[in-house]
Amino acid sequence: MSHDIEHDVGGGGILANKTLWICVGVGIFLLIALIMPTPKSVTTVVEEYGFAKKMIEWEIAHDVEGAANKTMMVLGIIPMAVIFFATEAIPIGLTGILMPVLAYFLHLLPMKMIGKTFSGDAPMFLLGVLAMGVAVVDVGLHKRLAAWLLGWTKGFLVPIFVLCVSMSVVGSFISAHAMCAFMTPVMAAVYFGAVSAKSSGGRIEHDPALAKFLLFTLCFALNVGGIGSPAAGGRNVIMMGFWSEYKVPMDFFTWMKYGLPLAPVLGVVVAVYMLVLFGRKIKTRDLTPGLEAIKEETRKMGKMQYAEYVTFGMLLLILVLWILGGEELGLGGPALLALLIPVIFKTTEWKKILNGISWDAWFMYCGALTLGALLKESGAALWLAQSFLKILSTVGMNEGLGLWIGMSGLSGLMTNFMSDAGTTALLGPIVIPMGIMTGVQGEPWAVGLAVAFATSFAHFLIVGTPNNAIVYGLGIYPDTGEKMLHPMDFVKYGFVLWVLCMVVVWVLGFMVLYNVIGFPEGILETARGVMEAGAL
């Protein structure tokens, strides 16, 4: 059988000049880290907020000036890393490894801390999820999942809208990362069935636009689901913790009143956007053959077999442990069972799991976590946040709707560079007092929701969320094993969607739901009393 794949990875022309982008990235780093004078505002933040003292105690700086220089180095790493991740000037896994290498050799963090950032709970979680995807595909369970979720649909539009709405809602309540691992092979199977039916003469005529369309539609729909409930992610729980400290706690169902109505709307936005973006590029306009092929294969498989029961039981066990395990187990502990159970119960071979895991995606994500730690611990993230707040003040966006729009915009940008939980943990303590001091009714809930909601929209950088890393790692052509996506595709197709999602939240969330649902009386006064009493 011959293969015909037209690669449209977004890496042609000037983007294909790897040497050029290496020079550009390194040049920008050197300019910011070593050549530009350190702004006074950086030195002020580093000194006043204790970052200099911490670095001196860690023995990575001798004085305030030296600490500020370390912060400038971190600020220089950011654009270099983004360029390398987006253009693959060097392999993205190697770019991930570059983050701890720079942290070690530039002495930006204590050695023990660098190791923890690169191999903590989050990396173990992603490793387990990637292994989970391999195990599900190996036993064929992904075909049953496709038959259950999409088997009743036909054509092109109906399956896409069903996929987007269902994934956005499901992603509000259970791990979107796990769903991404289950469903990415499903999308690959639907794709292959559709193009195979259209091909003739034993020649597979691939449709790269359809492949990208299906994977990005899945990924983006799951991303936006993070807005729906506290169960969608740790960043929502972190924000709820900040409110509790001000004696204005929010319960699970109250969050759902503000967030869940937005989830299916955003799912529809994803569907419409992707259809408009890829509509003319897609050659295969009927997914029915792919869905029928999966249903037929499922029928041939007969009743669920031993390996499928074990794998399905493993998925349920991991989900239950994620929900009930709490901080004691974290996310990484249960996820690692996906490497252990298939081998012990002899459903998937160990070598197959090792070969199936996308180590490029894993190293990339680990490096992104190190970069996030550098941003937080050096004061670079706080300086960026304060600089943005000053800009908001100069344009009159320092209270009410203006503050909500401005801070959600900042949160949405930052979450593409560092973890959603890290973004919420950084901005929450800054913006909640700001909201309280404005005297606008509904604070601090309003600005807190604004920040937390936006962390679900890590669409335009591959390092923004595990979902992006998972579809990149598991999204391969079934017949050739080549990757369906290119890192630059996330920038090309994700940035405009990021803007659209932000606008939906600003209009439907802030201007409609905030007013229709309203906020409880007295929360502003209670939070202000706690703040003024210095109880925090």
What's the confidence (pLDDT) of residue 9?
A: 40
Residue recorded with tokens 């929209």: 457
Contact 486, 231 (CB under 8 A): no
Q: Is the pLDDT of residue 6 over 60?
A: no
- Is the pLDDT reported for residue 1 higher than 60? no
Give the whole-number percent of the chain exceeding pLDDT 70: 95
Q: What pLDDT, on a 0 to 100 scale, did the predictor assign at position 414?
A: 87
Which segment of 50-54, 241-245, 326-330, 445-449 scores lowest on mean pLDDT? 326-330
> Rounded to an integer, what distance in angstroms lies between the CA atom of residue 179 and that of residue 315?
10
- At residue 224, the pLDDT reads 96
pLDDT, tens digit (0-9, with 9 covering 90-100), for 502-517: 999 999 999 999 999 9
* pLDDT score at 534: 52
In the predicted structure, residue 453 carries a pLDDT above the cut 90: yes
pLDDT category of residue 326 using cuts at 50, 70 and 90: low
Tokens representing residue 221 in the block: 């729909």
**pLDDT-above-90 percentage for the chain:** 47
Question: So what's the pLDDT on residue 15?
Answer: 62
pLDDT digits (tens, 9 = 90+) for 51-95: 999 999 999 999 999 999 999 999 999 889 888 877 888 888 898
How far apart, in whole angstroms, are the C-alpha atoms of residue 437 and residue 458?
29
Note whether 271 and 217 are within 8 A (CB). Answer: yes
pLDDT averaged over every residue in the chain = 87
* DSSP string covering 215-271: HHHHHHHHHHGGGS-GGG-HHHHHHHHHHHHTT----HHHHHHHHTTHHHHHHHHHH
372-418 pLDDT, tens digit per residue, is 788 888 988 788 878 887 888 888 788 899 999 999 999 999 898 77
Question: Would the pLDDT of 490 be above 70?
Answer: yes
The β-bridge partners of 483 are 476
Domain segments of the chain: what residues?
A: 119-155+287-357
Least confident of 113-117, 233-237, 289-293, 407-411: 233-237
Q: How far is CA 112 from CA 30, 108, 115, in A?
A: 26, 12, 5
Q: Is the pLDDT of residue 452 over 90?
A: yes
DSSP letter (8 states) at residue 398 = S
Residue 4 has a pLDDT of 45
What pLDDT score does 10 carry? 45
Strand-pair partners of 203 = 2, 200
pLDDT, one tens digit per residue, over 262-320 is: 999 999 999 999 999 998 899 998 999 988 888 888 888 888 899 999 999 998 898 78
Question: Taking Cα atoms as reference points, which of 501, 483, 251 lies closest to residue 364?
Answer: 483
The whole-number pLDDT of residue 8 equals 45
